[in-house]
Copies of this chain bind each other. A is one copy, B any other.
Amino acid sequence: MGLEQHFPIWDKLTPHEQALLLSAAILRKAPKGTLLHSGSADCVGLFVMSSGQLRAFILSDEGRELTLYRLFERDVCLFSASCLLQSVQFDIIIEAEKDSELWIIPSDVYKKLMEHSVEISNFTNELMALRFSEVMWLIEQVMWKSFDKRLAAFLLDESILNGDSTLHITHEKIASHMGTAREVVTRMLRYFQSEDMLALSRGTIKLTNQRRLRELAE
């Protein structure tokens, strides 16, 4: 399947706009771990996800990470083309969390389309509102939800994303997702283990009582 099947408002575009996108878009393979975008100085273009999984996160001065949202098949990543919008004044980093394949629509091509097509401009509005909603959800979580509830929700989400009740993830990596220190994660995981909600072993976390984790998360 091509860009036609993955770009959300394809049918609303004119044949000319479709042709422009098809000729400009570059299909790229990004193996797991690839850094695809790093901060606002970097403005390669919009990513249209064909397959795989990307992670968007921010980085503190001390090197601490916080996952903002993930991108999956058919998602479009706007902030990898943040120079499209003068008012974007923050740095987001995007990496491939699984082996991924995506089309890159160069920023200058998209900018031209956005300046002339009200369809594309309004699509961009919806795209940004979607990410804004994800970040607002996150801010409510970090402000008002205790860490045990956030961690339980994170473990359950990971398990669903990977279709496996055993997670292959380090405490360090969990800390990166959640914007906290490794020690804080380890302490809470040990508490969960003592409560028989999960079993820890080297490099894996087995969720042994998902029902209790779910009750905690809610």
**A interface residues (Cβ-Cβ under 8 A, vs B):** 58, 60-62, 64, 66, 85-90, 114-118, 121-122, 124-133, 135-140, 142-144, 179
Residue with the highest number of chain B CB atoms closer than 10 Å, among A87, A129, A143: A129
Residues of B contacting A135 in the complex (Cβ-Cβ under 8 angstroms): 132, 135-136, 139
Q: Let me know if B87 and A136 touch, CB within 8 A.
A: no
Q: Let me know if B139 and A139 touch, CB within 8 A.
A: yes
Residues of B contacting A131 in the complex (Cβ-Cβ under 8 angstroms): 132
Q: What's the Cα separation between A42 and B124 when bound, in Å?
A: 23
Q: What's the Cα separation between A85 and B125 when bound, in Å?
A: 7
A-B contact pairs, 16 of them (CB 8 A): A58-B136, A60-B143, A64-B143, A86-B126, A87-B129, A89-B136, A89-B137, A90-B132, A115-B118, A121-B125, A124-B125, A131-B132, A132-B132, A135-B136, A139-B139, A142-B143
Q: Let me know if A60 and B140 touch, CB within 8 A.
A: yes
Q: What's the Cα separation between A15 and B87 when bound, in Å?
A: 27
Q: What's the Cα separation between A20 and B130 when bound, in Å?
A: 29
Residues of B contacting A85 in the complex (Cβ-Cβ under 8 angstroms): 125-126, 129
Q: What's the Cα separation between A90 and B139 when bound, in Å?
A: 11
Q: Let me know if B130 and A179 touch, CB within 8 A.
A: no
CB < 8 Å neighbour of A121 from B88, B118, B137, B142: B118
Residues of B contacting A130 in the complex (Cβ-Cβ under 8 angstroms): 87
Given contacts A88-B129, A88-B132, 15 further A-B contacts (CB under 8 A): A58-B136, A58-B140, A60-B143, A64-B144, A85-B125, A87-B127, A89-B133, A89-B136, A90-B137, A114-B118, A118-B121, A121-B125, A125-B125, A135-B135, A144-B179
Residue of B nearest to A58 (CB): B140
Residues of B contacting A115 in the complex (Cβ-Cβ under 8 angstroms): 118, 122
Residues of B contacting A128 in the complex (Cβ-Cβ under 8 angstroms): 125, 128-129, 132
Residues of B contacting A142 in the complex (Cβ-Cβ under 8 angstroms): 139, 142-143
Q: What's the Cα separation between A148 and B150 when bound, in Å?
A: 24
CB < 8 Å neighbour of A62 from B86, B88, B138, B144: B144
Residues of B contacting A129 in the complex (Cβ-Cβ under 8 angstroms): 85-88, 128
